[in-house]
Amino acid sequence: MIPLPPYADLLKLRIEDGADGPHYVMPFHDDVVGRPGYLHGGAIAGLLEVAAFGTLSRALGDDRVAMKPINVTVDYMRGGTNRDTIAVATVARLGTRIANVEVTAWQTDRAAPIAAARINFLLGRPA
């Protein structure tokens, strides 16, 4: 598994084990506030991206494979408030050169997500 990027430290992300794989958890704190009392959209997008990279890295099982995002779509569904935000990613397709990852983030109810993303990766496999 690839190490978390430096901005994951800024977001204070932690990884918890879930029944469906790793859960990426971002606590609410001053560095992720947008308008008062709400998460900044960039912090939410950062959480989604870290979850996608981590889950894809785990699925690949080879740290030598380069993962380059070629398309990122984020849908914001509701404002994130003063509580932990959880993200889980699923590899929808894993090919030789392309991978598609879907990520969902929620706070209190997984059935009521605050954001979702679809990220397409170009994979650079070692020769």
CATH number at 77 reads: 3.10.129.10
Q: How many domains does the chain have?
A: 1
Which domain, by its residues, includes 92? Answer: 6-124
Distance (Å, whole) CA 55 – CA 36: 31
For 50-81, write each residue's pLDDT tens digit: 999 999 999 999 989 999 999 999 999 999 99
Q: Is the pLDDT of residue 7 over 80?
A: yes
| pLDDT for residue 31 | 87
Question: Average pLDDT in the 13-31 region?
Answer: 91
Give 80-97 pLDDT, tens digit per residue.
999 999 999 999 999 999
* Residue 2 contacts residue 15 (beta carbons within 8 Å): no
- The answer to whether residue 1 scores a pLDDT higher than 70 is no
The stretch 8-31 carries a mean pLDDT of 91
C-alpha 39/C-alpha 67 separation (Å) is 27
In a domain, 1, yes or no: no
What pTM was estimated for this model as a whole? 0.93
Q: Is 80 exceeded by the pLDDT of residue 18? A: yes
Please report the pLDDT score of residue 4 as a whole number. Answer: 74
User: What mean pLDDT is reported for the chain?
Assistant: 93
